[in-house]
Amino acid sequence: MPELPEVETIRRQLAPHVEGRTIRRLEILDPRWTLPLAPDEVVDAVQGRTIERLGRRGKYFIFELADDVFLLVHLRMTGNLLLDPAPDTPYQRVLFDLDDGQVVRFCDPRRFGTGELAIGDDALQAFFAGKLGIEPLGDELDGATLRALARGRRAPVKAFLLDQRHVAGVGNIYADEALFRARIHPLRPVGTLKAAQYDALAQAVKDVLAAGIDAGGSTIDDFRHPDGVSGAFQNDFLVHLRRDEPCHNCGTAIRKLVAAGRGTYVCESCQPRPRVRRRP
């Protein structure tokens, strides 16, 4: 699934081409994309409006349109926004025909991606309330904030990071990489971390997301830039997808286990497994 670095990479590359442009025609080829709204409702609200800004919140794109209309696009597992691809590009679900002749196509083999509407700023804030936590790239994320969010929680720290209600945009890849950098085992109960570990984890999340953006995101299966180019951060993974390969720090073989229902990669020398407390 594309995570924050992949979404931000697309946003940065696509924004100069779409901001200030009018959506001359919006063609929704797959009605599932707009559920529970009917495609005609979304077309009526969006078509003919100017894209004033292309923003991002967590893993959502926010097409900020004229008159406080917001189109919220989520790629989910396999979605891509492609700029001027070939007309016969496979898996097309939505077509944005812009007034300068450029075309943005939403392509999605597994059809999980979504497009949703918010009319007015209050509706936009209500849409994200309860869905998304703090943005990790700004000043909101620090050790003290993580500690406050985690207080009293027994969930594994990996599950805590994947829960978008805490920190928005972090998914499986970047959680693995951040936990390795912070030297924290993914199964450690998040509420038991020390203050220094919260500080290290907050910084590691910021660092790994920034590195992912600098590398243009990670392409493992379907992710592509708007021009069709693949990301490169997968070449820099320290643990993710490196099962049985030696740790770059200590040489111990990377293990794969399951945390929060997801395949998880860890060096159990650099990231010591939490001790199991036995009852007397």
Q: Which of 82, 102, 106, 83 is nearest to 94 (CA)?
A: 106
* Residues linked to residue 277 through DSSP beta bridges, in sequence order: none
Choosing from 5, 8, 56, 59, the catalytic residue is 59
27 is catalytic: no
d(CA 20, CA 53): 8
User: What separation in angstroms does the CA of 163 have from each of 57, 211, 273?
Assistant: 15, 21, 21
CB 156 within 8 A of CB 187: yes
Q: What spatial distance separates the first Cα and last Cα of the chain, rounded to whole Å?
A: 44
Q: Which of 259, 196, 208 is nearest to 273 (CA)?
A: 259
116 is catalytic: no
* Residue 121: CB atoms within 10 Å: 11
d(CA 2, CA 90): 19
Choosing from 25, 243, 262, 268, the catalytic residue is 262
57 is catalytic: no
186 is catalytic: no
* Residue found by looking up tokens 């679900």 in the block: 93
d(CA 21, CA 100): 7
CB 208 within 8 A of CB 182: no
CB 29 within 8 A of CB 95: yes
* Residues linked to residue 25 through DSSP beta bridges, in sequence order: 97
Choosing from 2, 5, 39, 226, the catalytic residue is 2
Catalytic residues: 2-3, 59, 262
